[in-house]
Structure formats: C-alpha cells, structure tokens
Amino acid sequence: MRRGSIVALLGLALIAGGVATAVALVPTWLPEDASQEAGRIAFTFWFVIAICIFIFAIVAAVMVYAVLRFRVQEDDFEDGPPIHGHTGLEITWTIIPFILVTSIAIVSAIVLSRNDAQAKDTLRVDVTAQQFTFTFSYPDAGNVTSPVLMLPKGRSVELYMRSLDVIHSVFVPQFSQKEDVVPGLVTQLHITPTRLGTFPLECTELCGLGHSLMRSQAVVMEPAAFDSWLKKQGKTAAPPSSTTTSTTSTTTTTSPSAAGLSVFNANGCSSCHTLSAANATGKVGPDLDNLVAYAKKANQPLEAFVHDSIVDPNAYIQPGYQKNVMPGTFGQSLTKSQLDALVAFLVQSAQQSGNK
Ligand code: CUA
C-alpha cells in the first residue's frame, strides 16, 4: 500500500470521525443526570458511542476512498480481478469487533450489578400504579402516602412496584431507568438521587385512554427536609390511611369527610377528576363539583348515584365522556368503610358546592 493512500485514508477517517463526534456532542441528547445509576448508564452510553464513532470513521474512510480512487472509466466493461478471501484481513475484522463487543458486555454487566446494589440504609418506597395514577407509600414511616415520589438526596432508594389493573411503566428521564409495573408481580427499581429538583415521572406503557395523563413527579429533597416532610405527613395522615392494596381496614376515628378525603387522595381520584373540596383539578373524568346536576340528569338520589358510579362506573356515563375509562375495580379494592367514607365525602362536598 502506498504511503499516499494511507495518508488519504487517515485524513478521510479524521473528517468522518470529527463529523460524527460533533453530531454526538453538540446537540443535548440526554437530560442531565440526577442519580448515581443514571451517571453509570450515561458512561456506558458514551463508551458505546465512542466505539461506534471509531468503527464509523474506518468504514466511511474506506468507502469514500474506494468510490473516489477505484471508480471505473466510462468505457471499462472488464470484470474485476477474482479475489478469494484474505485470511489476515478476516482474522483482523473478527478479532477487533470481538474485543469491542466483549468490552461493552463487561462494562454493562458491571454497571447493572452496581446499579442494583442497595446500601445498608436503603429507603423502601411502595409504588402502586393503577389507571391512571401512581401512589407512593413509605412503609417504614407508618405508611405515609403521597401522589408524588418524594426522595432524599444521596440515599439509596428501592421502589417496590405493584399494579392494580394493567401493565404500567415507571420512567423518570433524569434517573435513566425504566421499569414495567405488572399485575401479579412486584417489580423493583433502585435509585440513588444525586441532584435536588423536581423531575417528571411518567407512565411509559400504553395503559388505556388516560395513559398520556398518567404523570406524576419525583421530588429530590435534602435528607433533613425529607425527614421533616415524612414526620409532618405521618402526623396529618390520621390513622395510617390504608392503601388500596390492604384488605382489612379498621374503622377510622376521624370525621367522615377527612376519612373520605384521604380515600379520595390515596386512590388517585384527583388525577382524573376536578373537586374543589380536595383541590383536585383532573380533566379526564367528569367534574365532581357538578355531582348534584349529574344525579338529577341520571334520575337517581344523589347518594345512590355516587355509590353506583364508583362501584360500577359504566352504569351511567355523563354525556361527553366514554365508557371503560374509569377502572371498575374500586368495588373490590375499597373496603366497605373506605367506600362509605368516600361516598359521604363526595355527597357532602357536592351539596356544599351546589349551595354556593
Ligand atoms: Cu399507566 Cu400508561
């Protein structure tokens, strides 16, 4: 091989590699990391990208060089010389990719095992997904529940995720990890937040009509702020307001409307419905401030109407809304006392907003 062609090939490889590097580095492709796990995943990502750019530069240089240098003349109808392989070349292009692909496998395996490794003081958070909301509860703190994922910065956190109906998926782009939530299974996700802030938490599995609205947030706080938040929640949330997964629930001693409000919040009603008494502004389902009018339209007494609409949502559909959007599972997942409290709360707030 002539020195001239080596120089030309090298030059072409540098140009191709430079262009590919600029495409990789100049636009912001990934959100800024907010967890240790995301940092390791980003490292793996850039490790693979670097290998890809290296291979791309070689292939592009050889291709461009061949097209320019070995172009046939216009009147050349000859066959090319018969070539039957080149052992040295074949060994080279087998060994190099083998080394590269194996190194990607090793780096990935190390990152995966480190990302799953929990620290000793790992915080447990139970995640309940249902159409179309997430509920986060903190079993080590008296089952405090929250519609938003609150996390302390720098602490190892393990999410234990359950679904009450169909397959959902939890994704916080800044944490880089995504995990399905599957009915009948408890899936896990390990996060060690490294950056304070509020990040979007989205469902990334098409789970029904309200899928695009199944969004929450992950809030990373200073550990001290997180602890005081937990304590405050533990105090205000009367007796550990049982989540929808519990089957036995003792009767609550708080006032019926407070108990009903906590059932309303714990079951994600606010993600779909508007109700001023609960500061809820959901737009997927009917506005619950208008329950009196709906009951009139359905020709039913208010209380029976509210009860039936929770247990059997398809029984009466308010014009402008569709069937099968609201889960029909609340009749089973709520205990009788929870259901009664919820109905009482809704009836009471409907009458109040009706009187306004
Ligand atoms: Cu839940 Cu999409």
Residues lining ligand 1, Cβ inside 6 A = 132, 168, 203, 205-207, 211, 214
pLDDT in the model for residue 355: 57
Residues with Cβ within 8 Å of 23's Cβ and at least 6 positions away in sequence, in order, are: none
Residue 242 has pLDDT above 60, yes or no: no
Given the CA of residue 168, which atom of ligand 1 is nearest to it?
1
Given the CA of residue 132, which atom of ligand 1 is nearest to it?
1
How many angstroms is it from 326 CA to the middle of ligand 1? 13
How many angstroms is it from 301 CA to the middle of ligand 1? 34
How many angstroms is it from 109 CA to the middle of ligand 1? 29
Q: What is the pLDDT of residues 57-116, one digit of tens each?
A: 999 999 999 999 888 888 888 888 888 888 999 999 899 999 999 999 999 999 999 999
Instruction: Name the pLDDT band for 134 (thresholds 50, 70, 90).
Output: very high
Per DSSP, what are the bridge partners of residue 136? 127, 146
How many angstroms is it from 168 CA to the middle of ligand 1? 5
How many angstroms is it from 207 CA to the middle of ligand 1? 4
Given the CA of residue 166, which atom of ligand 1 is nearest to it?
1
Given the CA of residue 204, which atom of ligand 1 is nearest to it?
2
pLDDT in the model for residue 301: 87
- Of residues 254 and 27, which shows the higher confidence score? 27
For 300, the 3-state DSSP assignment is coil
**Cα 6 to Cα 12: distance, rounded to the nearest angstrom:** 10
The residue whose CA has the least distance to atom 1 of ligand 1 is 168
Residue 4 has pLDDT above 90, yes or no: no
Q: State the helix-helix crossing angle for 336-355 and 256-266, rounded to 10 degrees.
A: 100
Residue 248 has pLDDT above 60, yes or no: no
Question: Sign of the C-alpha dihedral, residues 181, 182, 183, 189?
Answer: negative
Question: Sign of the C-alpha dihedral, residues 49, 35, 186, 270?
Answer: negative
The mean pLDDT of 334-342, rounded to a whole number, is 86
pLDDT in the model for residue 263: 84
Measured in residues, the chain has a length of 356
Phi, psi of 354 (to 5 degrees): -70, -30
Given the CA of residue 205, which atom of ligand 1 is nearest to it?
2
pLDDT in the model for residue 239: 45
- Of residues 352 and 136, which shows the higher confidence score? 136
Of 16-30, 99-113, 237-251, the range with the lowest mean pLDDT is 237-251
The mean pLDDT of 326-352, rounded to a whole number, is 84
**Cα 310 to Cα 292: distance, rounded to the nearest angstrom:** 15
Per DSSP, what are the bridge partners of residue 296? none
Phi, psi of 318 (to 5 degrees): -65, 135
The mean pLDDT of 292-304, rounded to a whole number, is 87
